[in-house]
Structure 1
Amino acid sequence: MPELPEVETVRRSLQKRIIGMQIKKVKVFNQYTVKYPKVDEFEKGLVGEEFSEIGRKGKYLLLKFLSGNILVVHLRMTGQFLFVDANQEEYKHTQVVFELPAGKELRFVDIRGFGTMHYFKPEEFATFPGLNKLGPDPFDREFDLDWWIKSLKIRKTKIKSLLLDQTFISGLGNIYVDESLYAAKINPNCPANLLTEKQATDLYWAIKDVLQEGIKHRGTTISDYLDAEGRKGEFQNYLKAYGQKGLPCSRCGTEISRIKLGGRSTYFCPRCQGK
């Protein structure tokens, strides 16, 4: 599933390409992608909308229009936005197509078909529970060190499970949680409230640094992820923990271990992150 760096990379590539463009026509090929409003209202309502800004909250893309209306998109497992020439052969698994000026199209391609779209008026957007229940984004002002340390102290949940909880902190997934815990030398099984203040501080900065590195390398492509220009990410070439089972730890040489935690594959160094 695309995580914060992948969604941010898509946001940046869309920002460069579609701002100022007006939607000429919308074609929905998978009705289950459109969650709100009904498909016919979705297709008709978006015609004439002009893209003014592309935002992001956690793993959600926020495509904003001059009218004040907003298209909220979650890529889920395999969703991709591709900005292409209209005469380019249509991709298999194309779920929604936005026809744009100058012979261009914005296509939403989704192999698994779990991606979602909600088209809201401003007052509807303000009450959307999918966003209202999210914890702070690691790049939000609310995500400050004082809040972080206090929040960890009152939670007994295992730290990896807590970091995956989108109501606590938004945007992190399996890849970047494992990489952040590795960078901070913290065992994924450790209860959050047992972290020392130094460990909590190290993890706070590790999360920010790892996410920034992920964005710098345009995300991680393990299987399907592409940005809006059809390019793969490169952060998979810099992973130190995730997917590295049996390979030597870059710090101490110990083999990276893989365990199941909360049903999720978890990679860590049993020596550097042993306690």
Structure 2
Amino acid sequence: MPELPEVETVRTGLEPLLVGREISGVTCFRKQLRYPLPDLTGLVGQRIEAVARRSKYLLFQLSGGQTLVWHLGMTGQFHLLSQQSEKGAHEHVSIDLSDGHSLRYRDARRFGYAGLLSPAELLSHPWFATLGPEPLGPLFNCDHLIAVCQGRKAPIKTVIMNATNVVGVGNIYAAESLFRAGIHPARAAGKISKKRLLLLIHVIQQVLQEAIEAGGSSISDFVNTEGKPGYFSHAFQVYGREGAACSRCTKKIKRMVQAGRSTFYCPGCQH
């Protein structure tokens, strides 16, 4: 599933292509993806004012005041094509623009979903109401993480992957961040010192920023708006490397399962 760096990569790719363009037509080739699609006919005549992101949601801010919210699910992709381009495989929505291009949404597994929300709903809607701070923003700081971890027996990896605590730290980026911080993924969150939590914040931000600069991580289906994969997977130090030698201590990377997800770590470097 695309995580924060992948969604941010899509956002930065779409922003210069869409902002200021007027929507001239909308075609939905099916009524439902993961959930029923909203009525998108009201988009016609509106201008795209901004392309933003909250957690793993793309936010297309419209001149009429509403925001078109889109979650990519497992395999969702946006591509900007000529309006004359034929409908592609797994293409479910086409948004025509006044400059002769179409924003096409493709989704092989159809786990993506969309909504049209008012400004107030962006705060109160169930998709957003319980979300924690953005990891690259000022609210994700040591005071926040200490408060989240205080007294918690839950494993630190589970805590930082919980979107109510901080958004966008998916399985890959949690594993890589904990390795860089030297923290064992199963260590109880409440047993980690302030100094180590401060380091963890720093490396989470570092890992995510590096992943964004590399265009995200392509494990299976992810490609950017130009159809290119992300290259951060070439920098993995533990994720997917079970049995390989640690780049720091040469001990073999191990794998375990936490909350139904594979966790990779170095038993020599992480405590």
- The TM-score, its normalising length taken from structure 1, stands at 0.94
Q: Does 1:175 align with 2:179?
A: no
- In structure 1, distance between residues paired with 2:151 and 2:144: 11
User: Against the structure 1 CA distance between its residues 124 and 261, is the aligned structure 2 distance closer, same or farther, given a 3 Å change threshold?
Assistant: closer
Q: How big is the shift at 1:271?
A: 0.9
Given the alignment, which residue of 150, 154, 160 partners 2:151? 154
For the aligned residues, what is the CA RMSD? 1.5
User: Could you tell me how far 1:81 is from its partner in structure 2?
Assistant: 1.0
Deviation at 1:160, TM superposition (A): 1.0
Counterpart secondary structure, 1:193: helix
The CA deviation at 1:184 is 0.5
Corresponding position of 1:212: 209
**Match runs of 1:180-195 below 5 Å:** 180-195=177-192
SS in 1 for 2:42: helix
Q: Paired residue for 2:98, among 96, 101, 107?
A: 101
Residues 34 and 178 of structure 1, relative CA distance in 2, 3 Å threshold? closer
- 1:227 is aligned to 2:221: no
Q: Count how many residue pairs are aligned between Structure 1 and Structure 2.
A: 271
Shift of 1:35: 4.7
1:119 aligns with 2:116: yes
1:127-178 Cα distance to aligned partner (Å, 9 max, x none): 2121111011102221122222232123221111111111111111111111
Contact 2:149 2:159 in 1 (8 A): no
C-alpha distance in structure 2 between counterparts of 1:129 and 1:43, whole Å: 21
Unpaired runs of 5+ residues, structure 1, are: none
2:16 partner letter:
K
Mapped partners of 1:91, 1:264: distance in 2:
33
> Does 2:130 correspond to 1:133?
yes
Shift of 1:85: 1.8
> Tell me, which stretches of 5 or more residues in structure 2 are unaligned?
none
**Which amino acid in 1 is paired with 2:144?**
W
Residue type matched to 1:122 in 2?
P
User: Which residue in the other structure is 1:50 paired with?
Assistant: 47
| Distance in structure 2 (CA, Å) of the matches to 1:215 and 1:73 | 19
In 2, the alpha carbon distance for the partners of 1:35 and 1:127 equals 19
Partner of 2:29: 29
8 A Cα contact 1:34 1:118, kept in partner:
no
Cα shift at 1:34: 7.8
Tell me, in whole angstroms, the C-alpha distance in 2 between the residues paired with 1:86 and 1:244: 43
> Post-superposition shift, 1:199?
1.6
Q: Which amino acid aligns with 2:174?
A: V
Contact kept? 2:74, 2:112, Cα under 8 Å: yes
Q: What amino acid is aligned across from residue 155 of structure 1 in structure 2?
A: R
Q: Distance in 2 between matches of 1:188 and 1:125?
A: 33
Instruction: For residues 235-264 of structure 1, give each alpha carbon's deviation from its aligned partner in whole angstroms, at most 9, with x where no partner exists.
Output: 111111111112111111111111111110
Aligned residues of 1:75 and 1:114 also touching (Cα < 8 A): yes
1:165-194: per-residue Cα shift (whole Å, max 9, x none)? Answer: 111111111111111111111111111001
Structure 2 equivalent of residue 20 of structure 1: 20
Going from structure 1 to structure 2, the CA distance change for 1:43 and 1:150 (only over 3 Å counts) comes to: closer
**1-structure distance, mates of 2:44, 2:32:** 20
CA distances 1:186-238 after superposition (whole Å, capped 9, x unpaired): 11111100112222111111100000000110100111111122221111111
Instruction: Work out the CA distance in 1 between the residues paired with 2:119 and 2:147.
Output: 34
Identify the residue that residue 237 of structure 2 maps to in structure 1.
Answer: 240
